[in-house]
Amino acid sequence: MRPHRWFPEDSADTQTARAEEYARAWRALRRQAWRDGLLFALEVLLSTGTGLFFMGMALHVTDVEEGGLYWQGGMLVWFVGLALALVRAQGRAERRE
């Protein structure tokens, strides 16, 4: 088994091609990380907005029981949406590695 070193067949063109390929892969990885971060933020904002909408509906009804259902439902939508966004973000980050 030969030790790892640069062999004469590795020309400067080959090294340049490898460096360019590495740079392209790095840019693609960073771009995907930004997209995943933006998608996570959008998922959190969507679940929070939907949950707060239902919680706000609780303040606009006159029946106490119906208001309680809206309030609890809004909290449920908010927390479940946040948990799902976290789980999905973790899965995307693990696939990226």
Residue 13 clears pLDDT 80, i.e. is over it: no
Query: Confidence band (pLDDT; 50, 70, 90) for 37?
Result: very high
Q: What is the pLDDT of residue 61?
A: 93
Give the separation between CA 62 and CA 59, rounded to whole angstroms. 8
pLDDT of residue 17: 82
More confident of the two residues 3 and 23:
23
Length of the chain: 97
pTM of the full structure: 0.74
Output the average pLDDT for the chain: 88
| pLDDT cut 90: percent of the chain above it | 65
Residue 43: phi, psi to the nearest 5?
-65, -40
- At a CB cut-off of 8 Å and minimum separation 6, what does 7 contact? none
